[in-house]
Amino acid sequence: MAVNIKRPNGTEDILPKDVHKWHTVEKIARETAASFGFSEIRIPTFENTDLFMRSVGETTDVVQKEMYTVKAKETEFTLRPEGTAGTIRTMLQNGLLNEALPQRVYYILSCFRHERPQAGRLREFHQFGLEMAGSKSPLADAEVISLAKTLLDRLELKNIELYINSIGCPTCRAEYHKALRAYFETRKDELCDTCKDRLEKNPMRILDCKSPICQEIGKDAPVILDYLCEECSDHFEKLKKYLTKLNIDFKVNPKIVRGLDYYTKTVFEFVTTEIGAQGTVCGGGRYDGLIEQLGGQHVPALGFAMGIERLLIVMDKQNCDYLEPRKCDIYFATMGDEALEEAMELSKELREYGYFAEYDLMGRGLKAQMKYANKIGAAFTVVLGENELNEGKAKVKNMKNGEETEIRLNDKFTAAFEDIAMNEMMSFLEEETENSPLFSFNDNN
């Protein structure tokens, strides 16, 4: 019987030739979050299933159809389908909400949902997300949306539109649910089986159904904005005012409800039309009741998540700039065992100073070694043989322009090479565009 060793359907391999793209998004995301006062948090890959049932909502597609749940003896765990629930659980369990508010955290993590794989929708996917807990002000909503917009701008993404909506609080949603039930009741027989069940439990979930028939029926459904209470309406109007002050363009879309039950008041999405049906690259909103729902005190909170795979699809399509992948700084081409041992020692010394140094591990001849150095894009090469060892010096060749600099093979080798590399780096930076966002941060690459 043949053994299946292929990757599971709905997952992707990230190869060395592409990982610098991920590093670009992660680096700029981290630095943008830090500039807004957010700190990184790391949470478990799986949680007790009850956490997601209680927070995400039993009537959502995520809970009903998409969760990966594992039973181990008497315990049931679920691979996280999103980051908010686990992050709020972490904040509660570790007392972060007892510290100075607002608490601001961000994360980069993998999530798991059993969906039909397609472009921009995977069963294992990755998110950059953040949560802010403690502020009920619409200023916080504007701040979080501004952070998302700043990140998208720094990634140089274009043709991304911001849509906002308010889905109210439990008070005004109760009246809205009555109106929705009355509307959908007249066409109940046409709804999918899942939505027939949702009609009584949570009719707003029908608006988020992926069935084309349910989507068509929902086009003329009542909109939540007509049912907002005074507080929710005032919150939404102030948010629009603050976004305008920040010069952030937006459109009100009363059909946005988001796919998770914990949302209240503000919901928003950044959407592109350039990657087909899966055009939402960022989604989020406010969830003022979630912390209390999970056993804490009433603490208002909000956040968002960005799908990294979708961001990369758009960046590739728009030919956005990426940070250059790390390449070999210096390659030692050697002839003979003594030269190889010298290259090994020099490489060790250079690496301790942070340089990327290589020497031959394959037993290649000199010509093949030089071809290899060129293939891997080595910035400099040094040929070491009997003559170089006897004279105690060698030539460092700049592979870009062919210039050679003689350098002594002693305890000052690293310092001398550092001068050569620094001069080359300064020349490189002078050629770069000053306004490029990839050179506006402290780059440790």
Which DSSP string corresponds to 303-323?
EEEEEHHHHHHHHHHTT---P
User: Which of the 8 DSSP states describes residue 63?
Assistant: I
Tens of pLDDT, residues 369-428: 999 999 999 999 999 999 999 999 999 999 999 999 999 998 789 999 988 888 776 665
| 402 and 349 co-located in one domain | yes
| 80 and 101 co-located in one domain | yes
| Structural domain that includes position 408 | 330-420
Helix (H) or strand (E) holding 164: strand 161-166
Confidence (pTM): 0.88
Domain count, the chain: 2
CATH code assigned at 104: 3.30.930.10
Tens of pLDDT, residues 2-54: 788 899 999 999 999 999 999 999 999 999 999 999 999 999 999 999 999 88
- Residue ending a domain, among 290, 317, 344, is 317
| 33 and 113 co-located in one domain | yes
CATH code assigned at 389: 3.40.50.800
Tens of pLDDT, residues 117-148: 877 789 999 999 999 999 999 999 999 999 99
- When pLDDT is averaged across residues 334-349 and rounded to a whole number, the result is 96
Nearest to 416 by CA among 405, 426, 425, 427: 405
User: Which of the 8 DSSP states describes residue 204?
Assistant: G
Paired sense of beta strands 103-112 and 393-398, if any: unpaired
Specify the pLDDT at position 259: 61
